[in-house]
A and B are shown apart, each in its own frame.
Chain A
Amino acid sequence: MTSWLRSSEKTLEAVHLPLGHADYATTYRLQRRLHALRSHGEIVDTVLTVEHNPVFTIGRSGSALNVLAPPEILQQEGILVYEVERGGNITYHGPGQLVIYPIIDLRDQGHDLHRYVRNLEQAVINFLSEVGVRGRRHQGLPGVWVNSYKIASVGVYVKHWVTRHGLALNVAVDKAHFGMINPCGMEFEVVSLNELIEQPLTLEEVATGLITKMEPLFGWRFTRANPHKFWEG
């Protein structure tokens, strides 16, 4: 069931880099550096997992007009705003949200943007299913939903067929922060995984679970890397 979108049966080496808690700007620079290395074939597919301090990021189709809170409130809450090159509109990252940044070569995944986004969503859906939550897609609205509530958002950038940015899964987020934006330029409510299950999960547990679900979908065999060496240089 998990292999239906695979483009080849070949197993690919991949690295999981669990960053723990790291600020947005530093992680962004790391993504760019790894993207350049992956584009030149100097590293294998690498998947970062991270939790950020509160930020709003505005994608290529977005507008600062979708920040609803006045600047003084953002300052009071310590929320920074970044314009980034990923697709989509505005989104929120912050404590209690697992962010996944796959830096991977889509030439090994069938040169297919649609398949890539569907596989990211499928990893979330498969993981949710394992913990007893029914996640699903909404036609024309990338991301993963539980009923009419959004639990995971997607926003990707691809250059030389290598990806950066990725996916954010709400595990235990501060919804007041989401209320300060008009997410994706449309109105819907978000939900966190821990609201839906009896035993709350930590972000680390969710990261491990999700990475495990990504493996068969993308044909990877992960090794886990120590983040410290990646922060250097």
Chain B
Amino acid sequence: MSEVRLPNLGEIDEVTVVDWLKKEGETLKTGEDLLEVETEKTTFVIETPQTGQLVRIVKKKGERARLDDLLAEIE
């Protein structure tokens, strides 16, 4: 099991999840675009950290996340 957490994007308080580019159950490959978050009118793409299956999306579209928050689990 591998956790996807919000990386350090600089001096920001929180981001909003604007879109998941993969669905739960989908097979992921390292480096593929996984989700988009937004802060301060900036979209930031978070990539898949490792190959596996997206078993759980923790922060859904529209939800907010802070540094190191759990976003999803990959198995």
Q: List the interface of chain A (C-beta within 8 A of B).
A: 59-61, 85-88, 110-117, 142-143, 154-160
Contacts and interface: CB of A to CB of B under 8 A. Distances in A.
Interface string B1-38: 00000001111100010110000000000000100101
A115 B38 contact: no
Nearest to B31: A160
A194 to B, nearest CB: 25
A64 to B, nearest CB: 16
A137 to B, nearest CB: 11
B42 A117 contact: yes
Contacts of A143: 41
A88 B41 contact: yes
B38 A111 contact: no
Contacts of B8: 111
Given A60-B18, A60-B19, A60-B36, A85 B43 contact: yes
Given A60-B18, A61-B18, A116 B42 contact: yes
B9 A154 contact: no
23 contacts: A59-B41, A60-B19, A60-B36, A60-B43, A85-B36, A85-B43, A86-B41, A86-B42, A87-B39, A87-B42, A111-B8, A112-B10, A112-B11, A114-B9, A114-B39, A116-B42, A142-B41, A143-B41, A155-B41, A156-B41, A157-B45, A158-B44, A158-B45
